[in-house]
Structure 1
């Protein structure tokens, strides 16, 4: 009987050890998957926060589309991770179920053995056993029968302890199973939520793709229109610069004013490369001189620079000179051209509240206008600024002071 019990204990110990080993492997695998899930969720949250900070009106359709595509990619990755974790949980549930069956069978076996022993002792009767021991023929037989009785009692105690331990393990298995089933249910809900998010983001992507197509068509029209308007503006400037008689009159007027103010009559502008003050303060260049690529991939040729600032910001003359022209061109709005002598001129477009007149002398840094509103109900404004020398377009940033 003692040998059977020992074998049973060894079987339980080995089963528990193998079960714990497999359980540890599953736990390790699940931990890796959960770390991956945390990382992906963090990336999705980051993109969502970026979208909340930047409204659709403040971001280009292309950038919004890129953000949505990133979110779709991460959501698909998240769903795959959820599916991997679901497989791990299913594996865990399967393992726990096996342990429950194993412990259940072991428990039934122990109970049957104990029941058999109790019935045997009951039928035989303890008094009969004691009588049998004392009726032994010799001392050795007495000792043997006494040891047998003690062994029966010990086996009974061990079986009872084994039943208690197995029952405890079985209860733990059932609790683990319940927890795993709850986790599986939560995971299914999360997966369903992310699949809905994925479907919504794919719909948004299609909407933005359609919007992008429309924007490309609109942009192409605008670029053609702007190119025509830029050509018109260039022709006006060249025509003005080619009017030698008017240029001589302005040179004379400028020389007279400079003489009265004890300023050098000529050569002023050519020596100011990299030293001119900016035409607007608190601003930044958003479109540089020359060829620029738009967010939609189109290329536009800029004759000057576009400077983003606040609406109604003061527009300042970068150097003293004579106002050679004030005009209006659709797409550029009001335009002021100042002649600085020695065939150098500066152009200030997209302005309003003009405070100078044609042929008027203006000092350096004097207010000549205000920046007009960039968009309806917007607090921003854009100044278009150009520099011309010897009838050629020059890069304005090469002439303005370097900003820190």
Structure 2
């Protein structure tokens, strides 16, 4: 009995304007959703513009980074060349220093030899050599030859020392020039190193900005994707609301009276498992009331609409399981319960004999059945379905 009252309340509620929704309220909802859709489109346009700016900035920054990379590569190449020049100049400097040192040693040796010859000549000038020649028996001709040789040696030594000194001065000048070039190259290299360091820091800063732009781009892309999805969902909602509004405004199907004995059977080939009215449970001895009939059939058996009508409910009801309620007009309603699969939805117009579901065993039932009820009148009074079926 409680199940019958429950199904009556469901039918009355589904027939009420609060359940069906008035055209006016649907129009208001459509207007509201349309405004939301327009706001979404504006937000999407704003995001597209912002994303375009970010992409343009990222492109410009990438171009700038490419130029910086070329400048850094050029600076590094110049630094390498400067180091090579410094190494070559250092090599020349060391070679010149060795040559200057060698000349210095030669000059010192020549000067030492010159001093020795000069001391001998001094002895001749003082008469010491004349006395020694007389004692030793050296002839004056030999003595004069020795004196001449000493004079020639002194002149040769002086010439050699002068030439060596000239070369030494020349090499010293070249050495100083090489040192100046080395100092200039060192200064140039330091400037190149500083410039390369500045370019490297600038590149790091630009790369950080580019990473931020990439992060912003990813965020904007995600927001745009979410907006597109929200827009699609809202468009689907609007389409559903407009369809529902059109269905509400559409003229009602002609109310053709359905007489007893004219309804289609809800299933074909089933067996009536429990009839309309009271029945007693053999195990517990409790009397129950069945507001319809229960037709036993295999799971998945097609379930047909008993007559033309509009689907009021296609959902799950506690106890009844998956349930369909159809309004046939003229205060005639049929109920199909314990279904396995529902193939219509509320608001659909169906024809008599149309497949609306597949049988099952949902709800409170001990075996696969199709529970079928016929309710008539404004109070949705239940009647024996066998009186209405063909």
| TM-score normalised according to structure 2 size | 0.38
Which structure has more relative contact order (CA 8 Å, sep 6+)? It is 2
Question: Which structure would you say has the larger Rg?
Answer: 2
